[in-house]
Chains A and B, each alone.
Chain A
Amino acid sequence: MRLKHLICEEFRLLFKYGIIFLYVMITAIYLGLLAAIPDTARELTTVILVFTDPAAMGLFFMGAVVLFEKSQRIDSSLAVAPIKISEYMIAKVLPIMVIGMAVSVVLYLFAGSGNVFLVLLGVALASMLLSLCGLLIGSRIQTLNSFMIATIPFEIVICVPPLLYLAGILQSSIWILHPGVAAIRLIRADASQWYLSALSIVLWMIPIYYVCKKSVIKSFHKMGGAKI
């Protein structure tokens, strides 16, 4: 019940501050873009768009969400509320994942082909992983500038290899161990060894979840909010 309330509240927050509206707009723009490009490049463009935006939105927005909570002292209330840290984290990650999946399914139905289930699985897992990274950074920093800087290494490490993989520069199957490559394989509906791709992301998610949890606990204990 607590988790349900937290998730609903998070959705309300995302709706109130225009994130959901923003993604409706972005979806419309992407659809226009996909309609304008040649058929031969459409599917590849869809894969890149889905991976770099709806799947990665957590990494971009989590800092703003967490810092907003800090400046409004919401985290102080949450710290004394009878909620578990795991519930707080799930409530942060799940709504962003649902929005990402909704955008991806629209884009994919418009321009993609193959198994939608695999695409949704890829988006869901990638979104959770990247949102956890965003939450990890967000719980440790105090300003938006710092957040933007701190996300750059994560973006390079997680997002560049999959793009090189798509371009055919990285070809070895060992790259499936890389979470970004595993995610892009699922997002482009690559059915070969899909379970290994999913397993690879889950295996990466476990340590990140625990490091993130530790970081959130530490930030809740510290309190004091953002820089005033």
Chain B
Amino acid sequence: MKKIFRAFVPFIAEVTHDFMLTACMLGPILTGMAFRFMVPFAEAFLCEYFDAVQILAPYYIIFDLLLAIMTPILFCFAGVLVILEELDCDVAKYYAVTPIGRSGYLLSRIGMPTVASLLYNIVLLCIFSISGIDFFMLILLSISGGLIAVITSLLVVSFAKNKMEGMALVKLCGILMIGVPAACFVSGPMRYLFGILPSFWMAELCLTKNYWYFLLSVITSCLMLGGLYGKFKKKLL
């Protein structure tokens, strides 16, 4: 653990130096504030304009889910960009042959930010949640969100050969969040096609309050992570 912390220090120095850490901390707060204050305002405006009782209110959970996924993704994003730099400069390979190894390297760049984001996410969801989900559910959502962030990060660093491909993959990883709107808007058996995405089970968990869906979210995440970690290991050495 001490070794991993030692590898984590240069990472923190780098993200602090170029204000990425500040952006990671501030980004979710700004998003949370926008959701907390602007969405109910938009709802009131739309209801008055269209003379309806509720328009956005049944979908408030989508905003909470997006915040739960976005916060760890932003934290891990800083790690992903640093890994892409280190892969381009071949520094990553040197880290991998030091005592921290490949898994230690990944833990220092992606694992630690994810753990930090878990606590941060719970606090943010407590403050900015608009759908009124309970505290236990917030914890489950933060864990699922953290796992999705790790999948996104591993997907980018495992498949991208350089920064350009990395940026393209970062953009494409938005697909992983499609499970959230799919669970809310797609009906019939077709919706279970999205079941390969952890975000789908995360949304199902919130919509049905059936805690078994959390397990499905974790299982799908672990399956993806297993495959991606194998790919990353091969890539690093």
Which residues of A line the B interface, CB within 8 A? 13, 17-19, 21-22, 25-26, 29, 36, 60-61, 63-65, 67-68, 71, 143-146, 148-149, 152, 226-228
Contact = CB atoms under 8 A, between A and B. Distances in A.
B72 interface: no
- The majority secondary structure among interface residues of chain A is helix
Closest 7 CB pairs of A and B: A64-B167, A17-B164, A145-B20, A146-B18, A144-B81, A22-B168, A64-B163
Q: Is the interface of B mostly helix, strand, loop or mixed?
A: helix
Given A17-B165, A145-B20, 12 more contacts: A17-B164, A18-B165, A19-B164, A19-B168, A26-B171, A63-B167, A145-B15, A145-B82, A148-B77, A149-B18, A226-B88, A226-B89
Query: Which residue of A18, A71, A152, A228 has the most chain B CB atoms within 10 A of its CB atom?
Result: A18
Interface in B133-162: 161-162
B166 A64 contact: yes
Interface of B: 14-15, 18-20, 23, 77-78, 81-82, 84-85, 88-89, 161-169, 171-172, 175, 178, 185
A67 B88 CA distance: 10
- Interface-central residue, A143, A226, A227, A228, by most chain B CB under 10 Å: A143
Given A17-B162, A148-B20, A143 B171 contact: no
B20 A149 contact: yes
Given A22-B171, A61-B167, A144 B162 contact: no
A68 B175 contact: no
B162 A68 contact: yes
Contacts of A26: 171-172
A63 to B, nearest CB: 8
A60 B170 CA distance: 11
A144 B185 contact: no
A13 B84 CA distance: 18
Given A143-B85, A144-B85, A68 B164 contact: yes
Contact of B89 (A29, A64, A149, A227): A227
Nearest to B20: A145
A65 B81 contact: no
Given A25-B172, A60-B171, A149 B164 contact: no
Contact of A65 (B164, B169, B172, B178): B164
A148 B77 CA distance: 10
Given A68-B163, A71-B88, A152-B23, A143 B168 contact: no
Contacts of B88: 68, 71, 226
A19 B14 CA distance: 27
A21 B84 CA distance: 20
B45 to A, nearest CB: 10
A12 to B, nearest CB: 12
Nearest to A62: B167
Contacts of A148: 20, 23, 77, 81
Given A64-B163, A144-B85, A17 B168 contact: yes
Contacts of B162: 17, 68, 71
B89 A71 contact: yes
A61 B163 CA distance: 10
B33 to A, nearest CB: 15
Nearest to A63: B167
A71 B82 contact: no
Given A22-B168, A60-B167, A149 B85 contact: no
A97 to B, nearest CB: 18
Contact of A227 (B15, B85, B161): B85
B73 to A, nearest CB: 13
A144 B83 CA distance: 10
B23 A149 contact: yes
A157 to B, nearest CB: 16
A115 to B, nearest CB: 28
Contacts of B161: 17
Contacts of B81: 143-145, 148
Contacts of B82: 145
Contacts of B172: 22, 25-26
A208 B164 CA distance: 24
Contacts of B166: 64, 144
Contacts of B168: 17-19, 21-22, 61
Nearest to B84: A144
